[in-house]
Amino acid sequence: MSENLLEVKNLHVAFFQDGKLADVVRDVSFEIKPNETLGLVGESGSGKSVTSKAIMRLIADPPGKITGGSVMMDGMDIFALPEKKMREIRGGRIAMIFQEPLTSLNPLFTCGSQISEAIRLHKKCSKKEAEEQAVEMLRLVGVPSPERRAKAYPHELSGGMRQRVMIAMALSCKPSLLIADEPTTALDPTIQAQILRLIHDLQKLNGMSLLLITHDMGIVAENCDRVAVMYAGEILEIADVSTIFHSPMHPYTKGLLKAIPKMNEKVERLYNIDGMVPGFNELPKGCAFSSRCPYCKDDCASTPQRLEYVSAGHQVRCKYCRNLEQEA
C-alpha cells in the first residue's frame, strides 16, 4: 500500500481552442500524503484549476479531454471508476472549494438546505438530522447566528460568509482530501487570514490533506508543507516550502520569488520576468519557459525537459539548473 493519499501521474488535459486541441496540462505528476498540504502555484492560465478539476473528473468533454495519465486516490484508480462511484467520492472523500463561490452555490435554495442536501447525498440520515448537522457545520466554520444564516439565500450573505458556507459544505462529509482553488482571492486580507486559519484548524481536527491552489506566495509560505510550481501547463519544480523559498533551482521559480516585494526593502520597481507566457498553440517542443529564461541555452527550446530529482524530495524540470549559480 502506498504512503500517499493522492498520486497524480503524467496527467495530460487538452481543450479545443480555435478549432484545435491545445494541451493545457502536460505531464503533471505529484503526490499528497495524509494530512499534508501541497500548494499549487503559478500565474493565471497555467493550468491549476484544470488540474484540480481533472482530479475530480470534472472536465467537461467537450470542450476538454483528459488525454493521458492517472489519478490514484486511496489506491483507487479515479479515471477507471464508474460515474456512480465517482459521485460518491466527489463531495465525500474528495471535496472541492471552487474558485467562484457564487456560481457554485445555487441562488434558489437556502444555504442550510444546500449543505444538508450535500450531507444526505453521502450519508444515510433523516432530513431533520441533516439540517441540524448543517447548522453545526455553519457554527464550526464561524458563521454567527448559524440557525438564522442557514435560512438565508446566498445573495443575502457577504462574500466572506458565502465562502464559509462553501467551506461548511465541502467539509460536511469529512473528506480525506480538500481541494481549495483560490479559496480567498476575492476576500479582503483579514477575512483571507481567518478563512485560511479555519481550513487549517479543521484540517488538524479531521485529519485531512489539502491541495491549496493560489498565486499568492505569502499564502504558500504560511500554509503549505510542499509546493508545486506550474508554468504554461507543466510543473517546473516541486519541493518542500523552505527549499522553494530559500534554495529554488528552476529559473522560473527564482524569477517568481524575485517578483515578491520584501518587507523593509525599498522597492524602486517591482521585478518582472521579461516577456509573456506563450500561448498553448505556440509552445516550443522543449522547455515552455525557454523564451523568457535568462539562462536559456541553444538546445532548451528544442529539447523536452523532464521533471527530475535533484535531491530527496526536490524535483526540477531543467537539466541546466545545477549550473545556474556560477552563471548568475
Near ligand ATP by CB under 6 A: residue from 45, 68, 92, 278? 45
Residue 289 interacts, among ligand ATP, Mg ion, none and using kind-specific CB cut-offs from 5 to 8 Å, with none
Residue pointed to by grid coordinates 485560511: 196
Query: In the numeric block, which cell numbers belong to residue 289?
Result: 519557459
The one-character DSSP state at 270 is -
State how far the Cα of 151 lies from the Cα of 176, in Å rounded to an integer.
28
**Contact stretch for ligand ATP (CB under 6 A) within 38-46, 73-81, 116-124, 288-296:** 38-46
Contact in structure between 182 and 216 (CB atoms under 8 Å) = no
Nearer to ligand ATP, 42 or 255 (CB): 42
**Given candidates 50, 96, 141, 178, which one binds ligand ATP under the rule CB under 6 A?**
50
Q: How far apart are CA 90 and CA 107, in angstroms?
A: 21
Is 34 a binding residue for ligand ATP by CB under 6 A? The answer is: no
Residue 223 engages Mg ion in binding (rule: CB under 5 A): no
Give the interface segment with ligand ATP, choosing from 46-54, 148-156, 259-267, 291-299 (CB under 6 A).
Answer: 46-54
Residue nearest to Mg ion (CB): 49
**Residue 225 to residue 222: CA distance in whole angstroms:** 9
Q: How far apart are CA 48 and CA 304, in angstroms?
A: 21
User: Angle 196-218-191 (CA atoms, 0-180°, nearest 5)?
Assistant: 35
Q: Of 39, 47, 146, 175, which one interacts with ligand ATP (CB under 6 A)?
A: 47
Q: How many residues bind ligand ATP (CB under 6 A)?
A: 15
Q: Please tell me the distance from the alpha carbon of residue 279 to that of residue 326, in angstroms, as a whole number.
A: 32
- Report the C-alpha gap between 105 and 168 in whole angstroms: 12
Site string for Mg ion, 2-31 (x = CB under 5 A): ------------------------------
Helix, strand, coil % over all residues of the chain, rounded to 5: 35, 25, 40
What mask, x for binding Mg ion by CB under 5 A, covers residues 33 to 72? ----------------x-----------------------
Find which of ligand ATP, Mg ion, none residue 63 binds, CB within 5 to 8 Å per kind. ligand ATP
Q: What is the DSSP letter of 324?
A: H
Instruction: Establish if 48 lies at the interface with ligand ATP (CB under 6 A).
Output: yes
Residue 238: closest CA among 226, 220, 223: 226
Mask: binding to Mg ion, 93-122, rule CB under 5 A, as x and -? Answer: ------x-----------------------
Angstrom distance (rounded) from CA 239 to CA 242:
8
Give residues in contact with ligand ATP (CB under 6 A): 15, 17, 24, 42, 44-50, 63, 99, 215, 280
Give residues in contact with Mg ion (CB under 5 A): 49, 99
